[in-house]
């Protein structure tokens, strides 16, 4: 299935989470205060490093959200 990460179309396997799509797109979820890109870390919803905007809804946890066709994912990296 195809999703969009920061405007780029990415093909992800069925059952993939938004966090997986972010990693596949090499799209950091945010930039740390020291200027380093941050990516999803724990994969189970406790670290909040995967927060992103999904279909216009801010602060969603990417590791807890399954990809859907034509989903629009925006990171803050």
Q: How far apart are CA 31 and CA 24, in angstroms?
A: 18
Residue 40, sorted as left (phi over 0), alpha (psi -120 to 50) or beta, turns out to be: beta
Structure confidence by residue, pLDDT tens digits, 5-56: 999 999 999 999 999 999 999 999 999 999 999 999 898 889 999 999 999 9
| pTM for the structure as a whole | 0.92
How is the chain split into domains, by residue range?
2-36+53-74
């Amino acid at each position: 299935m195809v999703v969009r990460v920061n405007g780029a179309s990415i093909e992800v396997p069925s059952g993939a989470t938004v966090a997986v799509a972010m990693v596949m797109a090499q799209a950091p979820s945010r930039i740390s205060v020291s200027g380093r890109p941050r990516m999803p870390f724990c994969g189970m919803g406790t670290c909040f490093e995967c927060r992103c905007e999904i279909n216009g809804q801010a602060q969603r946890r990417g590791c807890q959200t399954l990809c859907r066709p034509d989903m629009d994912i925006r990171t803050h990296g």
